[in-house]
Structure 1
Amino acid sequence: MNSLSPKDLLPALTLSRLRALNAVMETGSFSAAARRLAVSQATISQQVRDLERALGLDLFRRVANDMMPTPLCQQIYTLSREIEAAGQRIADLLAQHRTLEQGELRIGLGNAMPGMARIRAFQKLCPGVGVKIEMGSWGKIYEAVIEGRVDVAVLPDVPDEPRFRRRQVQSQSVVAIAHPGHPLAGRSEISCAELVSERLIFRTPGSSTQRAVDEAFRTARLSPHATIVLDTRDGVLDAVANALGIGFMWSHGTSRRDGFVPIPCREMRRERADYVFALRSARGPLHEVFFGLAAPGG
C-alpha cells in the first residue's frame, strides 16, 4: 500500500477520516459507525480506506462480522479521540460565541425591579442578543418557568426545590402606598389595624404581594375588605395615583415614583429575598451570563 510522504501526511489526517476511524473503533463495524454519524456505510468505508492509503498500512482486520483494530490502530485511536474531542470543543465555543452575539433570552418578571436593572446590565454585555420579557403575577411567571415559556425569571420567595437553581438578587418588604394627598401619606409607619378601615386596593390571589398582605392581616387577626381587586401592579399604582384607595407593593418593585407615597407597615416589615431562577435542565451561555449578573449589587 502506497503512503504519503511525511510532509503530506498531516494534511491527510482530516477530522472526517479520524471521526470515521473513531466510530468504527467504538461500534465495531462500518454499518454501526455509519448509523452513529448519520452517513452512508460507503462513506465510512471510503474514509477509512483513504486514511489507510495515506498511512500506508491496514488499520482493521475483518474477523467474522467484526472489524478488529490492529495494535497500531489502537494507538492512533487514543490520539484521534482527543483530536475529535478538541474539534467538538471548538465547535461548542463557536456556537457559544454565535449565541452571545445573535441569540435570544426570554425573561419573566413579577416586578419591574430588580429585573429591569439586570436586563440593562445584560444588554451592555450582550448588545446583539434579543430579549423577550413576560410580566405578570408571581403565579403566572412561576408557571412560565416550569412550562418553558421563559428561560430565566426574577421573583420573590422562590421555593428551594431540586428542580430549580436560584441566586439571590436582593431582599425587600411589602409597603402600603397612598396618594400624596391622603391623610396617612405623611406617616413614617402604620399598622394593619389602621389600614383595615381604609378603602383598600388588593391584588389577585396569584400575586406574591397579596400573599404577604394576607399574611400580615392574619398575623394581626384582622379581616380586611378590598374595595378594588386588580391583577397587575401597574393597575394598583394607577388606582392609588387616582386616589381610589390604599394599595400595596414591594418596596423596590418599581422605578416609578410619581402618584403615590410608600408607607412602611409594622406587620409587613419582614424582608423576603428576590431570586433569579431557572429550571436546572435549562442551561446555556446566555443563562450563565444572566445568572452571573444576579449577585446582590452585581
Structure 2
Amino acid sequence: MRLLASLFLTSSLAALISTPANGEVEVVTSIKPLQLIVSAIQDGTGTTRVLLPPGASPHSFSLRPSDLRNLRSADLMYWIGPDLETFLQPALEGRQGRTVAIQDMSGLRIRHFGELAPGNLDEHAGEEDHDDLHRPGSIDAHLWLRPENARIIASHVAEDLTRIDPSQAQRYKANLAAFSKRLENEDERLKARLGKLDGKPFFVFHQAFDYFEEAYGLKHAGVLALGTDVQPGARHVAEMRSRLQATGPVCLFNEPPIRPRLASTLSEGLPVRFAELDALGFDIQPGPKGYTTLIGKLGDDLASCLEAL
C-alpha cells in the first residue's frame, strides 16, 4: 500500500508540474505566420498570442509593456530567431518558460541569401545596397513560406505542447493530422495552378519569397530593394529600371499595407502590373485554416497577376 501511495503521489506531482495551473498552455509567438501554425495545433485547448501587430516590421519593433507581460508569463514562446526579430533578443533574456528559435529546429530547409537554384544567375553580384539581415550568406529567415517547413514546425509544436500538457495529447495529435492534410491539399492545388506559370516575369520589392518560389518552381527576375532598412542606391535603381524596361509586360509585387513611392519612379511609362504579396498574413485570422489561407492567398495573388500578362 505504501508503494502504491508513493507511486500515486509521484505521478500526481508530475502532472501538476507538467500541466499549466490555469488548465491551458499559454503560447506567444513573435509574428503572425507562427501564430497561424501554432493556433492550428492548439485549436480547442487554448489561445495563441502574437507580439507584432498588423503592419509592423519583424526587423524593427518596440515592445509595449503588455507585450513584455505576455512574453514573461507564456509557457511557450516561438520566434524565428536572431536573423529576423533582432528587437526581441534583449527581452528574451531571463525568460523562465521554454523559448524556441524556429530557425534552429531540426529538419527544416534553411536557405541563405545569395543561394541560387541551378541555372540562375546572381542578379545581386557586386551590389552594396544590402542591410545586415540580407547580406549574401546570411540566413533567409522567411522560412515559414515553404509549406514543408510549416509541416515540420507544426510537428515540433505538437511535441512541445504534449510535453507541457500530456492530458491533451490526443487533441494535439488530431490537430496536427488535420493541419497536415489541409496543407497537403492546398499544396497540390497551388502546384497545379502555379506550375503553368514558370517563366512568367515578376519583380519583388523585398526578397522575402524565395522559399515559396522554390517550392513552386518560380523565380523572380529582380529585387527592387535589397534590404528593409536601407534605401537602394542610384546605381541599383537605374539598373532595375533598365531591367523592367527590357523585360516588357511584367508583374511588380510589394507587401501590404503601403506601396513604396519608388514603385512609380521605377515603372513610369512601362507595362508594369502592380499587385501585393502578403508574407505575414496581414488580414488572416488565427485558427485551424489560418496558415493554409496564408499560402493559398499568396499563391493565388501571384498567379492572378502572372496569368494576366
- What TM-score comes out, normalization by structure 2 length? 0.30
- What TM-score comes out, normalization by structure 1 length? 0.31
Q: Which has the larger radius of gyration?
A: 1
